[in-house]
């Protein structure tokens, strides 16, 4: 396997919190899958977890080289957790089609957050 791309993103938690407050379910449904929403809402401070997932989606989009737009939508990238607690990414829809067309075999991500910021990085691997 070789590295297809890498990406990183940092998000202000307050920015996501304000979007959740101002736009509510319209924002949540546009950016986050039901699985992501359920996880974030089950946490003591949901906005921090939403922010980390937002950063992860951006980091993955950068690593794929597509950005969020024509080839990859917000809901095409889903961040979940393995039973070990390790975050993992699943591509759906156009993201899955893009990955298959480019022989992408794996996406590794790392998330972190603090009171004011959340960050993520992504490494996309493909077959040579």
Residues with active-site annotation: 62, 113
The strand pair at 87-91 and 117-126 is best described as unpaired
């Amino acid at each position: 396997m070789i590295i297809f791309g890498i990406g990183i993103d940092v998000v202000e938690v307050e920015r996501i919190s304000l979007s959740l407050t101002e736009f509510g379910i319209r924002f949540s449904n546009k950016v986050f899958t039901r699985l992501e929403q359920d996880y974030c809402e089950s946490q003591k401070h949901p906005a921090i977890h939403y922010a980390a997932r937002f950063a992860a989606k951006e980091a993955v989009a950068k690593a794929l080289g597509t950005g969020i737009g024509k080839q990859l939508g917000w809901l095409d990238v889903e961040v979940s957790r393995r039973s070990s607690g390790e975050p993992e990414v699943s591509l759906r829809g156009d993201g899955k089609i893009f990955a298959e067309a480019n022989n992408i075999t794996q996406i590794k991500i790392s998330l972190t957050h603090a009171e004011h910021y959340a960050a993520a990085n992504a490494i996309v691997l493909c077959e040579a």
